[in-house]
Structure 1
């Protein structure tokens, strides 16, 4: 694997971690979204990643890609809030079943992964520039 291979592989990691960060931020932004009991709650989004190999069976280290987005439960959790405008006859509303602690943990993991891949791209770029300087001498 050359310098450009490292940049390409780290670039795929950046894409996956960016999408993970987007999903977590969307979950956190909607964790207090209220719906009536006859509607589905906001469904948390979870990024599903898989290894990719660019169609070359001999190269099993060609990065990662987003396979899809898995959705959390639409049931959510029922909360008793009789004064809420969306409350049913029994006084219940539906909130998404999103745990802030879990989402913050995922946020930190995705952020650190993104930073690590960005550092790899930066170091590979520096290596390539150093090689160009050697070639000019």
Structure 2
């Protein structure tokens, strides 16, 4: 693994975790939204992350990418999906969005769970920053050897 691919892996991890934090923030902000533009209650969004590993197929392109250090490795956001869990019914017959029985359907967002997810994403981001800085420090020490 080359120096640049180590930085690319850490960078892709930071990008993915930042995106994950953005989605978590969106969920927390919409935790009480009973009517979206579509007319339905907000549904919790979740990110789907996957690893990116280029497979060496023995072609000239793979050899060139490996030599130049442009192979893609790391993590990427595959999709943002809606949480299929049930909405939360709350009895409030005075609410404008109440149904005939007097229940209002609130989003399936649990702010405690979102905060735990945010802490996990934040820690993962910090771990990627630490790995990035360690790789950078190793490269600087290697350059000092040549002095």
Normalised to the residue count of structure 1, the TM-score between the two structures is 0.84
Counterpart-to-counterpart distance in 2, 1:98 and 1:110: 17
1:105 to 95, 116, 121: 116
Q: CA RMSD in A?
A: 2.5
1:120 to 116, 131, 140: 131
Residues 34 and 40, structure 2, Cα contact 8 Å, conserved in 1:
no
Q: State the 1:122 CA deviation.
A: 1.2
Query: Could you tell me which residue of structure 2 aligns to residue 43 of structure 1?
Result: 43
Superposed structure 1 runs of 4+ greater than 4 Å apart: none
Give 5+ residue unaligned stretches, structure 1: none
Give 5+ residue unaligned stretches, structure 2: 59-65, 67-71
**3-state SS of 1:83 partner:** coil
Q: State the 1:105 CA deviation.
A: 1.4
Q: State the 1:130 CA deviation.
A: 1.9
Say how many residue pairs are matched: 134
Normalised to the residue count of structure 2, the TM-score between the two structures is 0.79
What per-residue deviation string (whole Å, max 9, x for no partner) do you get for residues 46-87 of structure 1?
11011112454589x921111111112386222111222333
Counterpart-to-counterpart distance in 2, 1:108 and 1:57: 39
Query: Could you tell me which residue of structure 1 aligns to residue 23 of structure 2?
Result: 23
CA gap of 1:73–1:107, structure 2 versus 1, over 3 A, is same
